[in-house]
Amino acid sequence: MALYQHQQLKIYNSLSGKKELFKPIHEGYVGLYVCGPTVYSNVHLGNVRTFMSFDVVFRYLKHLDYKVRYVRNITDAGHLENDADEGEDRIAKKARLEAIEPMEVVQRYTVDFHNILNTFNFLPPSIEPTATGHIIEQIEIIKSIMDKGLAYEVNGSVYFDVLKYNETKSYGILSKRKVEDLIHNTRQLDGQSDKKNPQDFALWKKAEPQHIMRWPSPWSDGFPGWHLECTAMSTKYLGEHFDIHGGGMDLKFPHHECEIAQAEACNDQPPVNYWMHANMLIMNGKKMAKSTGNFILPNEIFTGDNPHISKAFHPSVARFFMLQAHYRSILDFTNEGLLAAEKGFARLMEGINSLNSLNTSKTSSFDVNDWRQKCYEAMNDDFNTPILIANLFEGVKVINQIKDGSATISKDDLQIFKETFENFTFDILGLTNVSETASGADQLSGVVEILINLRKEARLNKDFALSDKIRDDLANIGVHLKDGKDGTTFTTN
């Protein structure tokens, strides 16, 4: 029997504003779409947090034995510089500034994006389609929306008619906005526009002569509007109606709202059952922004080369730090937070590493199955990773108690204990065991064992000057000895 049949997963649905029991459209299969990055600069750390949240969603669904198709696009074309008529493609603009080909920019930052995500131990999505690879599909969707009378062409550009759409459907169901309010609150932009109404959004934009990225279409040589690609790619790979659509909170409006409108206009049904939105990452209490200097590149976390942090941090520490907060909460990225997470993470790893050397007893003094179910319940409750981590620490406490002799575990229970730790820590949270993966670990431990034995002899001879020198000199190079009941172990940092 598949695991999902035993676990009741609840997901907070932005559409209803409630936690709902998750039921996939086709039993055993899940279609998951997440809006990917625009590859015109280095991936933003906040972006990383969003994708990390969905990486964990992906991992947990897989762990529950669902067959998951996870689609995360690469936006390599089509996002307008602004909504006014000079509508210039961001990627084209960047290319002109750097005097290189647009696809060169795309390539460079796509590679950067993948490198960063790999470093953070992300699972690759099942499909990672590009916007430029789906121009034909996007044109087909525009045609279909025009056939329904919900889009109009002006001067080679095509716009979605929000007011017309709103006559029979409701625009704003996701972001809880009313079209009337939108009309009242729209700012009047200068030089506006071919649009009938300011709320209308572009499905196709005619390219200006200097615009490099362009494709032929029935209306003009141009490029697709910035909401369309996700509709095209999600429909193509997951169908007209699929299970989960995710993205950052800031995409809720207008991007996801427009996606819903386009898809409904085109296919006459709501495209998505569960909408999930990950909350923002701020830094030192403020929005991260390059312009104010309140900013850090993901890579700088690993190198420590940024004024906002005091040292370099391992990717898993940063990952652990982020997963200690729930994905729907705003998270404040601070040096102090990272420092605290680093210590906590080390404690967790030390606990897990000592699982292998635990002595077993006839009986167990704690209920390992109950503990395991608590771990599942945390994840079942809208992917509550902070609660899961709290449970893992409860497990670490038990490990240490067993080491101390104040708790016991049976052989069978130890097996479950180990397996559960492995599952949740590495498979689901996607953390990596830092000390285990250190290169030359075997050789190092051999050398340290020798020193531990020398120190033991010195201590037996009451030569504490020597024993302390061994301990302190090792500590100076980052090897910390720990005297326990059953001898001395060590950790490295």
Partner RNA sequence: GGCGUCUUGGCCGAGUGGCUAGGCAAAGGUCUGCAAAACCUUGUACAGCGGUUCGAAUCCGCUAGACGCCUCCA
Say whether the peptide bond before residue 254 is cis (omega within 30 degrees of 0).
Answer: yes
CB 468 → RNA: shortest distance, Å? Answer: 5
Helix, strand, or coil (residue 76): coil
Q: Which helix (H) or strand (E) holds 396?
A: helix 385-404
Smallest distance, RNA to C-beta of residue 268, A: 26
- Taking the complex as a whole, how short is the minimal distance between the CB of residue 2 and RNA, in angstroms? 26
Q: What is the smallest separation between the CB atom of 171 and RNA, expressed in angstroms?
A: 13
Rank residues 155 and 185 by Cβ distance to RNA and give the closer one: 185
Looking at the Cβ atoms of 26 and 311, the one nearer to RNA is 311
205-211 long-range Cβ contacts below 8 angstroms, 24+ apart: 205/80, 205/87, 205/157, 206/155, 206/156, 206/157, 208/86, 208/87, 208/88, 211/88, 211/89, 211/92
Distance, CA of 413 to CA of 42 (rounded, Å): 46
| Spatial contact of 109 and 298, defined as CB atoms under 8 Å apart | no
Furthest CA-CA distance within the chain = 93
Shortest Å, Cβ 351 to RNA: 8
Q: Indicate the residue type of 101.
A: E
Residue 184: what residue type? H
Nearer to RNA, 164 or 195 (CB): 195
Minimum CB distance to RNA smaller for 24 or for 131: 131
Extract the tokens encoding 273.
């059952």
Min. distance of Cβ 452 from RNA in angstroms?
A: 11
Q: Specify the residue, 211 or 326, whose C-beta has the smaller distance to RNA.
A: 326
Residue 24 or residue 395: which is nearer to RNA going by CB? 395
Nearer to RNA, 418 or 456 (CB): 456
Going by the DSSP 8-state scheme, the letter that residue 268 receives in this structure is S
Q: How many whole angstroms separate alpha carbon 443 and alpha carbon 71?
A: 42
**Residue 352 DSSP SS3:** helix
Q: Give the nearest distance from C-beta 249 to RNA in angstroms.
A: 5
* First CA to last CA distance, the chain: 42
